[in-house]
Amino acid sequence: MSKPNAIGDNPISGTWISKVGSTLVISETNGALTGTFQSTESTGTAAIFGSADPDARNNARALAFSAYWSGTSPYVTSYTGICKVDTSLNHIQEIEVVFMIAGSAAEGFPPLWQQTNIGFDTFKRRTST
């Protein structure tokens, strides 16, 4: 999908690249989000699911999604933020999120709250070249 070309054109479906190079592929249907997340900070690909403001005319659409990462140290990452159109710079789209990573608590490990990390990231739409 091409980048938005007018104010009020803010689709979420597409491929997004984070500041650290992770790839997020989202499909949106009436505000329901599904897709995949390939992190540069973890091995494998996680399925994502979530929801978003279904009105693509909004220049700042609220969204939230989660990813489950399996492996030797399974954990869940939840993301919440906005998909916005920067109306001052060629209508470039970004997804800005705050995320929380909760690791699996097992016997011999600290309580779950000690294995929780909070961070933020920005994804930019991958445009066709």
**H or E, element range at 55:** none
pLDDT band at 50 (very low <50, low <70, confident <90, very high): very high
115: which DSSP letter? G
Above pLDDT 90, what percent of the chain?
47
Q: 49 with 31: CB under 8 angstroms?
A: no
Question: How do the domains of the chain map onto residue ranges?
Answer: 14-125
Residue 108 has pLDDT above 70, yes or no: no
Q: What does the pLDDT look like over 5-22, one tens digit per residue?
A: 444 467 899 999 999 999
Q: What confidence tier does 72 reach under pLDDT thresholds 50, 70, 90?
A: low
Q: What is the pLDDT of residue 13?
A: 93
To the question of pTM greater than 0.75 for the whole model, the response is: yes
Fold of 14-125: Lipocalin (2.40.128)
